[in-house]
Chain A
Amino acid sequence: MSYNKRLDGRKFDEVRKMHAKVGIIKRADGSAMFQIGDTIALAAVYGPRELHPKFLQNPERGVLRCNYDMASFSVTERKKPGPTRRSTEISLVTEKALASVIDLDLFPNTVIDVFIVITQANAGTRCAGISAAAMALAHAGIPMKDMVAAISVGKVGDKIVIDLDKEEEDFEEGATDIPVAMTARGKEVTLLQLDGDVTKDEVMEAIKVAKKGCDEIHKIQTKALKEIYKNE
């Protein structure tokens, strides 16, 4: 099955239009918005703050706690408010995507809470959430060894394409979605998921393509972070 032309006319390695803004939620210690195409993610960071219940505290290192949530109106058919098995899993992989760049040893007994809300969904929401959360963590002044960006890559028909939209995800001959998060300088993969059927070479190509996309996101993240300090 040949996929010669993308449904929305983009090149195979072209990401949708992106926009980032830092400092969107005043009550939060750090916050950011990340938009990619029609997908919009908000992220807020609270902490480091005291962790309750107390038995969860770790005297050696702080705890990073992420929560991913979709607004009920963000999708075409209303999503019932509250956690789902899907959102619980995404919260977990988001945590793992971000944990390696944060020096949690500096914050024993505390928690750094990251809350992500998707306000408009058109594929790639977990990646948008991670890209937003990384900016929010930096904005909160949490010491970070590196920046994290995330993008979904996928196989649509016979092609590896970057940043699938909803229409491509629902491609009738099947699409394989491979969300990837990567650190900006270290180029370490901190999120990697896949459901579908691809070869080893295709996985390696997907990671290469994701690297390029993450570089682009990283530029936008840096610009948005600099923007807020320029205004202060």
Chain B
Amino acid sequence: MNDYIVSLIEQGKRIDGRKFDEMREAHVEINISKNAEGSARCKIGDTEVMVGVKMDVGTPYPDSPDEGSIIVTTELSPIASPEFELGPPGIQATEIARIVDRGIRESKAIDMKKLGIVSGEKSWLLFIDVYPVNDDGNLIDASALGTLAALKNTRYVNYENGKVKFGEFTDKKLELEKTPITFTFIKIGNSILLDPNAREEKAAEARLSIAVYGGRIHALQKGGDRGFTEDEIEKMIDIAIKKEKDLKKVLDKAK
């Protein structure tokens, strides 16, 4: 299969007929689970991911007494692929969770100060849980986009007299300062492909994920065994910046 993918790419073709810099169709649906404070389903082609946001109140870290925090967990449930197995999150799951986490945290998509309640004592914790339902490649971008959609539609749970009333929702919405969108590229031979499907991922020699917001770069993650040239990196950044508005539209349209 890998040889076939490689020979196609040498002819300038992809297995599903896309152009090298073409994404599969992305689709986002929100409020997919009633008990979650925020939730979304994100599809990129046949890849499908569910994201749920749950809130709780905890103690702030000593070095940021006025801030809340986010905890991203990805579970590669065996429901989504014959290659996933039961058990605690492995390396791949952890990497996806870390990329999503950094895309939100380091871009300051959420103002952590707004999650503070009582300095040094109480602050909000946001649990973002990502569940792939069908893995047809590029779980990273689907997870990142699904996370943004779920966060954008998160309402606070009721917190009264020092107690969280789980299941009671308030009208207060979580504020998102930015929506950094993640694009993942792979390299096969000397070609760069955006949004690899599962079969292309198997043949990938290098991978780069780029989170962009307003034309600026907020997170990068290089994967795979081979390297990229400067020209290749520049090309990928250009494509990501150019495509940002397309996925922003998908995100804004989500119902």
Among B56, B133, B167, residue most surrounded by chain A Cβ atoms (within 10 Å): B133
Closest chain B residue, CB of each to CB of A136: B79
The answer, among A69, A81, A113, for a CB contact under 8 Å with B73, is A81
Separation of A74 and B35 alpha carbons in the complex (Å): 6
- Which segment of B45-53, B109-117, B140-148, B239-247 sits at the interface? B45-53
The answer, among B32, B39, B80, B198, for a CB contact under 8 Å with A25, is B80
Per-position contact with B for A145-162: 1 when CB-CB < 8 Å, else 0?
000000000000000000
The answer, among B34, B52, B79, B135, for a CB contact under 8 Å with A42, is B79
Which interface class (under 10, 10 to 19, 20 to 34, 35 or more) fits A?
20 to 34
How many residues of chain B are within 8 Å of chain A by beta carbon? Answer: 34
Separation of A185 and B167 alpha carbons in the complex (Å): 40
Chain B nearest CB from A41 CB (Å) reads: 11
Which residues does chain A contribute within 8 Å of B52, judged by CB atoms?
71-74
Which residues does chain A contribute within 8 Å of B89, judged by CB atoms?
81
The answer, among A26, A82, A119, for a CB contact under 8 Å with B33, is A119
Separation of A74 and B127 alpha carbons in the complex (Å): 13
Interface check A51, CB cutoff 8 A: no
Interface check A38, CB cutoff 8 A: yes
> Is A27 in contact with B54, judged by CB distance below 8 angstroms?
no
Which residues does chain B contribute within 8 Å of A67, judged by CB atoms?
78, 86
Interface check A121, CB cutoff 8 A: yes
Which residues does chain B contribute within 8 Å of A78, judged by CB atoms?
54, 56, 127, 129
Separation of A40 and B34 alpha carbons in the complex (Å): 10
Interface check B17, CB cutoff 8 A: no
> Is A73 in contact with B36, judged by CB distance below 8 angstroms?
yes
Interface check A12, CB cutoff 8 A: no
**Chain B, range 1-55, C-beta contacts under 8 Å to A:** 32-36, 39, 46, 48, 50, 52-54
Closest chain A residue, CB of each to CB of B133: A25
Contacts A26-B134, A82-B88 given; does A71 touch B73 at CB 8 Å:
no
Separation of A201 and B222 alpha carbons in the complex (Å): 66
**Chain B, range 167-205, C-beta contacts under 8 Å to A:** 167, 198
Per-position contact with B for A104-121: 1 when CB-CB < 8 Å, else 0?
000000000101110111
Interface check A135, CB cutoff 8 A: no
> Is A72 in contact with B133, judged by CB distance below 8 angstroms?
no
Interface check B138, CB cutoff 8 A: no
> Is A26 in contact with B78, judged by CB distance below 8 angstroms?
no
A-B interface, 9 closest residue pairs, ranked by CB to CB distance from nearest: A73-B52, A76-B167, A78-B54, A73-B36, A77-B166, A76-B166, A72-B129, A115-B79, A44-B79
Binding site for B on A (CB under 8 A): 24-28, 38, 40, 42-44, 46, 49, 67, 69, 71-78, 81-83, 113, 115-117, 119-122
A-B contact pairs, 9 of them (CB 8 A): A24-B133, A27-B198, A44-B80, A46-B78, A72-B127, A73-B35, A77-B54, A78-B56, A117-B131
